[in-house]
Each structure stands twice: as C-alpha cells, then as structure tokens.
Amino acid sequence: MAAAPGPAPGDASAALPPPLETGRGRAGAMKLTRKAVLARAKAAELDNVRKLNCWGSCLTDISICRELPNIEVITFSVNSISSLEPMSQCQNLSELYLRKNSIPSLNELFHLKNLPRLRVLWLSENPCCGPDPHRYRMTVLRNLPNLQKLDNQAVTEEELSQALVDGEEITAPPAKRNLENGCPEANESSTTECTMEPKSEHLNFTLEETNKIREQLGMKPVPRDKFSSFLPRETDGSRKKRNNILNAILLLMKELDTEGLEIIHQTVGKRLQALQKKELLEER
C-alpha cells in the first residue's frame, strides 16, 4: 500500500492505498520500514514526511515513527499495533488515526501526553476502550485535554470539565511488552502462554485457522477462552451456520493443491478489498 494520503478529514482515505511493502520480523510481526514510508509518502528523506497513510497493512511494528520528526498526520487504522511509544517524539503530530488496532490499555496514552499539537485522535474499536464508553472517553480527555475531536466526535468544554472528575489520570507508561515474541504482556504467565506447547494441538490449530479466516472476512478474532462457545455443537442460529461454513472451508483447504489455494487467495483478497471499500465509504 504506497501512496501519500491526501487531507485527512477522517479515518478514511479517498481510495484504498496500494499494497504496502513491509518487513516481516520474528513471530510474523509486520514492520513498517524506511523504504515503505518513503514510498508511501513520496518523499526523499524521512524528515520530509508530513502525512503517512498505512490503513489496513497488518502492521505490528511502527518503530520507524521515532525517525519522523515532522510528521503531522498518521493513519494507522485497521492494523495490529499495540504500542504508541514510537510516536511519543512526533512533536508536530496533529492527527492520529488508530481505529481497529490492538492497543491493550489506556495507559498507552502516556506516550501521547507530550505531543503539543495533537488535536484529532481516533482510537475506537481497540481493546483499551473497554466496556464503559463514558469512562473511556473521560480518561482520554483528561490525559489529552487539547483534543478537539475524539473518535470522529467533537470535544466540548463540558466534557473536558467532566473529564477532570470522571476520567482516570495516567501518570506512568504501561509495562513493557514482549512484542518480538508476539506476547501482549511481558509477565511470567503471558510468556509461558506464548512459549509453551498448547494442551490440545487440535484446538490450537483450529483456533488459529479460524481466526485467520475471520480476519480475512473482516470479523473479530475469537478469544481462546471463548473459543469453545463458537463451535457449531454449542451455538445456534446464524452463528452456528457461519461457523459450519468456516469449518467446512478449513477442511476443504487441506485438500487443495497450489493452484486451488491461489484461487482461494485471490477470491478472499477481492472480497476483503470490497468490504474495506464499503467500510471506508461509510466512514466518509
């Protein structure tokens, strides 16, 4: 995906950007590279990059942002980004679009607190938003009181005042995460979960493959602790039908040769692109 975004009135660009050339790190992590940034921004040097649109690029590693001192608008929506630390030094950043990523905690806002020009933030549909939309919005505004728009909704003076009461002040950065190994938290229990062999190889394979297909179809992944409830024998209605289809696809894919898999890959790609275009049009 490689063209400089135009003026960013919202999270969506006028058209889907072309495929982005990224680097693949450990554990399948997708790293945004210097070459990809320059190509997308049509710039000769990183210092010249003002706008960057990497919507829907499967990114997990955006450490290159530390080398973008003059960046003003970043669109990273629909990726797998889990840390905002690389953007903590982007002093000219005024608009940041991060909808549908993997930001685990509102403590990540600590990395944005010292960005004096940040006025627009789109953070919805991240794990950090939690089940309470009021608490989420109040906490964001308490820590980023200079925002003029949050999640495509204008910020009011009343909200800023209320945020001082209802919002939680974030005074420290989040605990470091082991991103290279694909673990969301660098504590003992999560490290064990990422490195140890699963108790059921069949369950692990099915969950992994199911979530891969769900991702391609624009669906949210199924958490491991909820996976059993998604199996056809334990669900009903449309969910049962959907999962029957997914399981059938997974079984049939094992029987396909290279040519057949290539056809499936192209078909899924076209379907995913159509869904992304529809979503972009709805957000404009």
Residue-level pLDDT at 207: 64
> What is the average pLDDT score of the chain?
77
Read off the DSSP letter of residue 32: P
Whole-structure pTM over 0.85, yes or no? no
Percentage of residues of the chain with pLDDT beyond 90: 50
What six digits make up the tokens of 90?
A: 């982007």
Read off the DSSP letter of residue 53: E
Q: Is 267 helix (H, G, I), strand (E, B) or coil?
A: helix
Write out pLDDT tens, residues 180-222: 434 444 333 333 333 333 333 333 445 666 666 666 555 667 6
Residue-level pLDDT at 204: 40
> Where does residue 238 rank: exposed (0-12), middle (13-18), buried (19+ CB within 10 A)?
exposed
Q: Tokens 């679009």 — which residue? A: 97
Decide if pLDDT at 235 tops 60.
no
